[in-house]
Chain A
């Protein structure tokens, strides 16, 4: 069995000069005959939210499990906070905070007991643990519920407690596995604002989600995962430019026929054409004006991440998405 002593663990800032928070190259994980993750490569910087977008079963959690040292990869290499996940798992664990969607809290413990246990395992004395647990409970709005069993907490409260316990060691890299799945809109916004605060403090955040709005709202860069393969990676704007169809839409008076190059759209006085770029759209509009077409309105529609996702995968991100 692996022994882990306080002495073996480096201080959390031992590798602070290392510029990349996460470096992954050719990472694969095979479970028996299933390829859960195939040849993934990406980097995540400090002070950045990296969105990891995919449907259920696309390999998001597998990636998190490998990067957080819970599972060993079948091939490839990954460094987190400057340490190899296979050869230096303890150093990785010392530098990271993790909230796992499928890592339950103990329903039979109170919120305070849970945080005190986590703090004590991180090496705090009993009185330090008590003091810091109280601070965290207050910071996360759980002080009223501190002495209640976690089993009685709402989903949002559990998520906040989970996030609080992930921050106990002052992690420089934070893994959030679907942190808002199943939360109401208010709790979701609360988690989002926490994530932004942490990013602004310089924390690297690896965030998996199946919500396109969430990736859109939070991610500085993102990767889209389909069946264990990363099919696109980059800043949301760049992905939109590269993969999403921008559309020029025009509105004419009722009963007008479609101008050349435009297809009917909805509602029925609207017509549209794909727009390769802004210049092309301006030229198309000028031609319409020159042809004497009476233009009521026009729009240049940026593709949403949803459009990018559909373009890349041929499916929507979630079956239940609007």
Chain B
């Protein structure tokens, strides 16, 4: 057997020379494809986990608190309808960590070094994963939403792209925390330890119980919890009471949270790929 001299790629002439951003997007798409292929080979963690647990929460909690709907002043037709927005957003929280764990695994196995030796845009390594997170969580979110609608929540077709966009923002915001912690500690175990965080975040919000019915201190914490604003943003579409102000608040809260976590993640990642 002989080695065929590898044909060098046409760096200079390739598509008339691409800019840094175009290269990042092209490379990001390649990383996205790799993530997709990986997830389809192990669909349980990628797709089933972020949809199955929220669906279970919705089914059990709405039954457990069914009679709450009889309390005077309860602002929805049923507890299930009330809880659907918060549980829909939970898909992002149970989907978080999947890709971050994959990135840490790549780091530990040396696969990331392999990528770094290739002419890949470092930004693409993160962008491809984040884009995949968003689409993976969207699939889970749609499953949760379908169950919610069956249990009495409303959802209009025009509202659907908006709530999916909010879910995407929340995926990036909450998932960014997992990337930031994972890249700092460089251990997948630390990400497992972060999973229970969904409990205080969802309970100290208006996801399960209306603000009027919770103790004052919870109401106070709920008001500084970005998740609350996202829940209310989605809820506008499941109860049919749209307002631009509320949507603006939801987007602002999600964006602020996303900037904090993603900037932290990107800083850790940049120092990682710069070499030590």
Q: Which of B3, B18, B34, B275 is A109 in contact with, Cβ under 8 Å?
A: B34
- Residue B165, interface by CB 8 Å: no
B 7-47 to A, binary, CB cutoff 8 A, 1 in contact else 0: 11111101001111001100100100110011001100000
Residues of chain A within 8 A (CB-CB) of B142 are none
Residues of chain A within 8 A (CB-CB) of B275 are 69-72
| CB pair A108 B41 closer than 8 Å | yes
Q: Contacts A71-B276, A106-B34; is A5 near B18 (CB within 8 Å)?
A: yes
| CB pair A117 B266 closer than 8 Å | no
| CB pair B30 A197 closer than 8 Å | no
Q: Which of B42, B113, B266, B276 is A1 in contact with, Cβ under 8 Å?
A: B266
- Residue B193, interface by CB 8 Å: no
Q: Which of A4, A103, A120, A136 is B110 in contact with, Cβ under 8 Å?
A: A103
| CB pair B12 A197 closer than 8 Å | no
B 242-276 to A, binary, CB cutoff 8 A, 1 in contact else 0: 00000000000000000000000010011001111
A 1-42 to B, binary, CB cutoff 8 A, 1 in contact else 0: 111111101111000000000000000000100000000000
Residues of chain A within 8 A (CB-CB) of B117 are 68-70, 93, 96, 98, 103
Q: Which of B1, B4, B266, B269 is A141 in contact with, Cβ under 8 Å?
A: B1
| CB pair B109 A104 closer than 8 Å | yes
| CB pair A108 B118 closer than 8 Å | no
| Interface 9-mer from A48-56, A162-170, A180-188, A238-246 | A162-170
| CB pair B110 A100 closer than 8 Å | yes
Task: Please give the number of chain B residues whose Cβ is less than 8 angstroms from any Cβ of chain A in the complex.
Answer: 48
| Interface 9-mer from B119-127, B178-186, B194-202 | B119-127
Residues of chain A within 8 A (CB-CB) of B9 are 119, 122-124, 168-169
**Cα–Cα, bound, A276→B140 (Å):** 78
| CB pair A1 B12 closer than 8 Å | no
**Total A-B residue pairs with C-beta atoms closer than 8 Å?**
144
- Residue B2, interface by CB 8 Å: yes
| CB pair A169 B6 closer than 8 Å | yes
| CB pair B6 A201 closer than 8 Å | no
- Residue A297, interface by CB 8 Å: no
Closest Cβ neighbor of B41 among chain A residues: A108
Q: Contacts A4-B23, A121-B120, A197-B2; is A113 near B37 (CB within 8 Å)?
A: yes
Residues of chain A within 8 A (CB-CB) of B110 are 100, 102-104
- Residue A132, interface by CB 8 Å: yes
| CB pair B6 A117 closer than 8 Å | no
Q: A98-B117, A123-B119 are known contacts; what are 12 more A-B pairs with Cβ within 8 Å?
A: A5-B17, A10-B11, A12-B11, A70-B116, A72-B274, A104-B111, A106-B111, A123-B10, A139-B1, A149-B41, A169-B9, A201-B5
> Taking beta carbons and an 8 Å cutoff, which residues of A are in contact with B?
1-7, 9-12, 31, 68-72, 90, 93-94, 96, 98, 100, 102-106, 108-109, 113, 117-124, 132, 135-136, 139-141, 149, 167-170, 194, 197-198, 201
